Amino acid sequence: MRHLAERLRACLLLLPALLLGGCTSPDDPAEILADYNARLARVLDTPLPPAAATRVPTWPASRDVVQTPADVRVGVFAFLDFGRCGMLREISERNSLLGRVHTPSQRLLYEMRLLRALRQCAALTAGDLAGQDSEAREFAGRVREVLQTKQGNLPAVYWNATFGAPELREFFSVGVLPLRVRDAASLSEPAEALAWLAPLGRLPADAPLPSAEEMERRYFQLSGNRRGGRTWLSLDLAIRELDRSSRLLEQAAGSARLCPGGKPRREAERLHNVFTAIYLGRVQPWLAVVAREGESLGVALEKLWQAQSITPPAAMQRYRAGVWAPESDDALLKAHDRAVRRHALAWKAVLAPCGWAPGN
């Protein structure tokens, strides 16, 4: 009963629009856009063009993006030698059961800590490289071999903790529903989490490392909500539905039949009601939420992309080009921007001859 009452209250608030047709869910974007387009087609007495097929790329499979860092084996005696540098804890952590099941984010933090310990160990054993003690000389050389391997591995480990991470794959899963206007209040957290990860890819050797708690808190902001996928679906929905309504409006503007001699006909007045009550009142607020979220995610993802030090796998390069790449005209973000601007111009072309400016 409470849900029904809320729906009825929303309908009453949209009384001007109700004179043109029925009531739809106040928060479902697919229903809002379908209702909007149906009203335009009815007022203009023009068949609604068919919708284009969805074009949302899916996040690549793990096998196509996850990297395999070089393995480093440390024998028993070499392991004990690392005790000279106080590194037994770091070495044993990786070889433990928990170390072998590290998540990509935990692995990244471990490798960054290990690298710092190895650098300190290399500095402590620098004098042994030219010393007379063969065992100390051999260990000093081994430290540098491990350090070099681990330094070479870090870009792949960082990639796996970002674009190869299961949290990002889940966050951008498209097996979900589009964003609703009520989602606007908490949209910034995931983009902030992505942006926070970017500096880790180029972190100076002497910069403080994040705590494990802080790292997990950021990944927790990405896990479970799939808001990235919802945003991509929303962009696609807006593109496809705005294309249909823009074509209707452009056709009407081209016929110049709504306001002959600058005098609005009844059809034009009804169309203006659709513009004010439905487009400005319901469609545009949702478009603003989608545009804001899409832009913030696109900026954060590009920062994360530019922080990488490996050549990204081809599958992820294609995904980037199809969704957020600034240089790609086919990217969802650019296509959405074009669709919104085209739609605004179509309304202007229809309303201006009647003496109405969009927003007035």
Burial of 145 per CB tally in 10 Å (0-12, 13-18, 19+): exposed
Average pLDDT of the residues in 311-340: 97
Band (pLDDT 50/70/90 cuts) for residue 132 is confident
Residues 52 and 82 in one domain: no
Angle at 248 between CA 245 and CA 250, to 5 degrees: 110
Would you say residue 88 has pLDDT above 70?
yes
HSE at residue 105, side-chain half, CA atoms within 13 A, is 23
Assess whether 117 and 11 both reside in one domain: no
Last residue of a domain, one of 133, 163, 193: 163
Residue 264 lies in a domain: yes
6 confidence band (pLDDT: 50, 70, 90) = very low
Average of per-residue pLDDT values in the chain: 87
Confidence check: pLDDT of 128 > 50 = yes
Number of domains in the chain: 2
Residue 102 resides in a domain: yes
* Alpha carbons 292 and 227: distance in angstroms, whole number: 13
Both 18 and 87 in one domain: the answer is no
Residue 140 and residue 236 in one domain: no
For residues 57 and 59, what is the distance between their CA atoms, to the nearest angstrom?
7
User: In which band, very low, low, confident or very high, does the pLDDT at 5 lie, cut at 50, 70 and 90?
Assistant: very low
Q: Which tokens go with 159?
A: 């990639």
Identity of the highest mean pLDDT range in 25-39, 58-72, 310-324: 310-324
Looking at the structure, do residues 238 and 290 belong to the same domain, yes or no? yes
**What is the mean pLDDT of the segment spanning 98-111?**
82
Amino acid symbol at 357: A
Q: Are residues 252 and 310 in the same domain?
A: yes
Alpha-carbon Rg for the chain in angstroms: 29
Confidence check: pLDDT of 262 > 70? yes
Distance, in Å, from the CA atom of 51 to the CA atom of 317, rounded to the nearest integer, reads 28
Higher-pLDDT residue of 190, 184: 190
Domain interval for residue 243 = 2-58+225-354
Final residue in a domain of this structure, among 128, 163, 198: 163
Do 72 and 9 share a structural domain? Answer: no
- Residue 4 has a pLDDT of 42
CB 103 within 8 A of CB 222: no
Average pLDDT over residues 5-33: 57
Provide, rounded to the nearest whole percent, the portion of the chain with pLDDT above 90.
66
From residue 336, give the alpha-carbon distance in Å to each of 258, 330, 341. 28, 10, 9
How confident is residue 95, by pLDDT bands cut at 50, 70 and 90?
low
As a whole number, mean pLDDT of residues 275-294 equals 95
Q: Is 113 helix (H, G, I), strand (E, B) or coil?
A: helix
Q: Determine the pLDDT at residue 206.
A: 86
Kindly state the average pLDDT of the residues 297-303: 96
The domain boundary residue, chosen from 147, 163, 179: 163
Q: pLDDT-based confidence at 86, cuts 50/70/90?
A: confident
The answer on 122 and 27 residing in a single domain is no
Average pLDDT, integer, range 38-62: 94
d(CA 41, CA 296): 34
pLDDT at 155: 96
Region 138-157 average pLDDT: 92
Do 114 and 231 lie in one domain? The reply is: no
Confidence of residue 359 (pLDDT cuts 50, 70, 90): low
On whether both 232 and 333 belong to a single domain, the answer is yes
Angle, vertex CA 328, rays to CA 323 and CA 333, nearest 5: 40
Nearest CA among 191, 189, 174, 180 for reference residue 286? 180
pLDDT surpasses 90 at 249: yes
Same domain, 15 and 110: no
User: Rounded CA gap, 319 and 124, in Å?
Assistant: 46
Q: What is the largest CA-CA distance in the chain?
A: 102
C-alpha closest to that of 234 among 186, 179, 303: 179
- The answer to whether residue 105 is domain-embedded is yes
